[in-house]
Amino acid sequence: ELKVEQNPLFLSMQEGKNYTIYCNYSTTSDRLYWYRQDPGKSLESLFVLLSNGAVKQEGRLMASLDTKARLSTLHITAAVHDLSATYFCAVTPWSWGKLQFGAGTQVVVTP
Amino acid sequence: EPEVTQTPSHQVTQMGQEVILRCVPISNHLYFYWYRQILGQKVEFLVSFYNNEISEKSEIFDDQFSVERPDGSNFTLKIRSTKLEDSAMYFCASSEMGQGQSSYNEQFFGPGTRLTVL
């Protein structure tokens, strides 16, 4: 069974500093997603990573994928308060398959 | 921008009652999914649906659960006899069916229905 591990599970960030969230998965995956969830809200898609070496950036967030290591990272540059949320990675073994989610990383950004 | 919609936003029911959660997927999407998230926990897959039949289901999706696409727009999840442990946020998602390895086939999530079983 496809297993997804995220760490850390909780990340207290200081504004202006850089941080990284890690996502490991256990078996070959077709693609990897990063989602953001605000409290009580739905899942907002941030990135979809398809291939080895894929890197995507949006604002202060950058995601990368290493399929050989079965590892994705979400890098936050110069954290700001409005990035406070829970971030999930999810993988699927095939194109329209179920998403297997990690446990989520709760991010709190403080001044 | 097209989006997945879900109704109701919050449903409160008594244990043992039947509930139906409704979803309207994005109109040109062909794959539909239900997930749930117990408060403070991770998102769990329940079932996927394509071409009017279940494509894949999880161990959670037992005989108490069923899904249906009763018309061209709605996609429903029925829980026949609710239990306390069914209390969760239920998310519907949909995906188009792009061809080729480069197609993202991203799953877009609805706002969720919070189910509370008393």
- Following CA atoms A38, A43, A44, A49 in sequence, which dihedral angle do they give, to the nearest 10 degrees? 130
Most confident of A24-28, A89-93, B44-48: B44-48
Of the partner residues A48, A100, A101, the one whose CB lies closest to the CB of residue B106: A48
Could you give the count of Cα atoms lying within 13 Å of B29 in the half-sphere of its Cβ?
29
Mean pLDDT taken over chain B = 91
B48/A96 CB distance under 8 A? yes
- Whether B60 shows a pLDDT value over 70: the answer reads yes
- Whether B104 shows a pLDDT value over 70: the answer reads no
Mean pLDDT taken over chain A = 93
Average pLDDT, stretch A17-36? 92
Sorted by sequence, the CB contacts under 8 Å of residue A84 that are 6+ apart come out as: A107, A108, A109
Residue B54 contacts A where some CB pair is shorter than 8 Å: no
B33/A98 CB distance under 8 A? yes
B48/A31 CB distance under 8 A? no
B109/A98 CB distance under 8 A? no
Asked which of B92-96, B105-109, B111-115 is least confident by mean pLDDT, the reply is B105-109
Distance from CA of B71 to the nearest CA of A (A): 22
CA pair distance A82, A79, nearest whole angstrom: 9
Q: Got the DSSP string for B12-74?
A: EE-TT--EEEEEE--TT--EEEEEEE-TTS-EEEEEEEETTEEEEE-TT--TTEEEE--SSS-
Of the partner residues A31, A96, A101, the one whose CB lies closest to the CB of residue B43: A101
Residue of B nearest to A87 (CA): B42
Inter-chain Cβ pairs, chain A and chain B, closer than 8 A: 56
- Whether B97 shows a pLDDT value over 80: the answer reads no
Average pLDDT, stretch B28-49? 93
Question: Considering only CB atoms, which residues of chain A are within 8 Å of chain B?
Answer: 31, 33, 35, 41-45, 48, 50, 88, 90, 95-104
Report yes or no: B14 and B118 within 8 Å, Cβ to Cβ. yes
CB atoms within 10 A of CB A86: 21
CA pair distance A103, A69, nearest whole angstrom: 19
Asked which of A48-52, A86-90, B55-59 is least confident by mean pLDDT, the reply is A48-52
Which pLDDT value is given to residue B99?
A: 58
- Name the band, by pLDDT with cuts 50, 70 and 90, for residue A111: confident
HEC string for chain A: CCCEEEECCEEEEECCCCEEEEEEECCCCCEEEEEEECCCCCEEEEEEECCCCCEEEECCEEEEEECCCCEEEEEECCCCHHHCEEEEEEEECCCCCCCEECCCEEEEEEC
Three-class SS of residue B84? helix
- Name the band, by pLDDT with cuts 50, 70 and 90, for residue B66: very high
Residue B58 contacts A where some CB pair is shorter than 8 Å: yes
